[in-house]
Chains A and B, each alone.
Chain A
Amino acid sequence: MTKARKITINPVSRLEGHGKVTIHLDEDGEVRDARFHVTQFRGFERFCEGRPFEEMPVITQRICGICPVSHQLASAKACDAILGVDIPETAKRLRELEHMGQFIQSHALHFFHLASPDLLLGWDADPAKRNVVGVINAFPDLAVKGIRLRRFGQEIIKALGGKKIHPSFAVPGGVNGALSREDRDGLLGGFDEAYGTCRTAIDLIKGWIEKNLEQVKAFANFESNYAGLMDDQGCPDMYEGRLRIVGHDGETVAEFDPADYLSFIGEHVEPWSYLKFPFFKPQGYPDGGYRVGPLGRLNAADRMRTPKADDELQVYREMSRDGLRGCTLLYHYTRLIELLGCLERAEEILTEDSVCGQDIRITADPANEEGIGVIEAPRGTLIHHYVVDKFGAIKRINLIVATGHNNIAMNRSIGLVAREYIHDGEVREGILNRVEGAIRCYDPCLSCSTHALGQMALKIEIYGPDGMILDQLQRN
């Protein structure tokens, strides 16, 4: 009997959004193909047309409830470019501080709420318990620490923008409110605990990697390009900088002003996903795939800007020297190094005198017909590109979201994991969870991915060689 079939995982869970995976097996029950489908599409690139550009920071942040601040800031930066202004120094610091709050909450959310069940409870743990509730029950102290670390990031955002999700803060030309001394002092009181929790998490992931080194090496380990915004010292800069792309050997293959992104980045469309596939144009599709987010940024960087994170980067470098740079599971470690760096940067900003200044906004009429705003979102480089008419109404809007840049890599990763673990047509639940785990490493934000119009859920379908669905694999 033929073992050919299609496996579907739907929805892929513990991701921010809905995704679906299909795995096609050939006659011998070996993996022929694996695809990650994003199944929702919302249409921001069309329905924003005609609206005043000043509305964009408010509208586009609704693309994502996990990283609304990233969209708000990329959008505000594109609007600054349309106004043709350099915003006041205090406004820039406050925007960056808001952004650090978002990195802290988003990275903590991913590690503690979404990824830790696999690491702490195990890939093969009972699916009914393999979630944040299971972690709360098994490791109550750690779970509460993680919840409090995420809360700390959210509180930074709330102190600036009035609420934790979809805050109102960055506007064209600056920000709409100053930081009070009282709020600043309150926030500064939270760092000791936050550093402690971050350190606990770093120790935990390092211990896990050490214990599972063979698995780390075998799990979706592949060479790719890596990319991220860098400052002039070659340190990852989450708010601004030049976009650097390095090859798998660590050599820089391109470094450019992100406003020139159209010369370097193209987007491929596959008819089976609503999420496009960005690639580095000189290398074409799919060879020009690259990875963004924590692993992409740290592999592209020369060093970190803050001392504690830089020390930890050296440890990571030492660990990843022997062919481990491409290990997808190292996303978890690099994410926590960034979390540490973002805590340091937030503290730095809060201890500057100027942070409570009142010079926070420049008003101006539109000076340019085009504006491009690029920042590093927690999941990677985020590009907002607007063209306006002489009245400031949006004529065209193009968005490339962080998760999109990783689309080629995510598809490659699930293929590698599926081939590693699925043989002779035999599939069990824990294996499907590993396939999902490969996607989970990238912390894809499917809310963002679906800005065009899409939704993602993980489902494994088993297809016959003739393309007929033979079986669907489900949990429970």
Chain B
Amino acid sequence: MGKPKIATVWLEGCSGCHMSFLDLDEALVDVLSKVELCDTPITDFKDFNFPDVDVGIIEGSIANEEELKIACKLREHCKVLVAWGDCAVFGGINTLRNTVPKEAILRRGFIETESTVGGVMPVDPELPLLLDKAVPVNYHVNVDVYVPGCPPSPEAIAYSLTEILAGRIPVLPSEMMHYD
């Protein structure tokens, strides 16, 4: 039997959860020797065409059309889907925009900001449209494991991954359970 396969993505977030994964430091070498990393932001696989994997991991909330598509695709191709961090679990900081119409947000960013000169609203086939609201991953697809924290500690990430690879749904010990 080959090594368990893992794919990770970051959607609407800051990449801090992936950085916390890298904060496993030397233990990372050990973790990476036990799994096969497929699509992740730190490898060179392209086009979000996920192979079938054992574990799919999502950092970030879902806030535009492309992110929604990627989340659905990863859900289809993984056995266990993990939400890493407060944005994926709760929507996180991105949900602060939900009380403001998206047109007003774009207008501020691309037309009204003090340093903008002759701004226009960005509209292009290459740019995914914003969804009305930034939402947690489980608004759109089923999530099997939640690892909260901003970001989750490396210990929480390692513990949950080890449990999943052992065939269990992890229950985080209280010292690893935090939301900041």
Contacts and interface: CB of A to CB of B under 8 A. Distances in A.
Contact of A166 (B11, B16, B22, B44): B16
Contacts of B170: none
B64 interface: yes
Interface string B118-138: 111111101110100010000
B: interface residue count bin: 35 or more
Interface stretch (B24-32, B72-80, B161-169): B24-32
Given A136-B32, A147-B28, A151-B25, A65 B16 contact: yes
A390 B160 CA distance: 47
Interface of A: 9-11, 13-18, 20, 22, 35, 37, 39-43, 45-48, 59, 62-66, 68, 109, 113-114, 117, 127-128, 130-133, 136, 140, 143-144, 147-148, 150-151, 154, 163-166, 168, 261-262, 265-274, 276, 278, 281, 285, 385, 396, 398, 400, 433, 447, 452-453, 455, 457-459, 472, 474-476
Contacts of B41: 11, 13-18
Given A37-B124, A165-B20, 18 more contacts: A13-B45, A14-B41, A17-B15, A18-B10, A43-B96, A66-B15, A131-B37, A164-B20, A165-B151, A265-B115, A266-B115, A268-B118, A272-B124, A396-B114, A398-B115, A447-B13, A455-B66, A459-B46
A47 B96 contact: yes
Contacts of A62: 14, 16, 92-93, 150
Given A46-B97, A47-B105, A271-B123, A455 B12 contact: yes
Contact of B104 (A46, A140, A476): A46
Given A41-B106, A453-B109, A433 B44 contact: yes
Given A62-B93, A453-B105, A13 B46 contact: yes
Contact of A271 (B46, B118, B120): B120
B30 to A, nearest CB: 10
A20 B126 contact: yes
B124 A42 contact: no
B108 interface: yes
Contact of B25 (A148, A385, A447): A148
Contacts, number: 237
Given A165-B151, A396-B114, A453-B109, A133 B126 contact: no
A266 to B, nearest CB: 4
A166 B43 contact: no
Given A47-B97, A452-B109, A452-B110, A65 B14 contact: yes
Interface in B64-93: 64, 66-67, 92-93
B115 A475 contact: no
B47 interface: yes
A281 B117 CA distance: 10
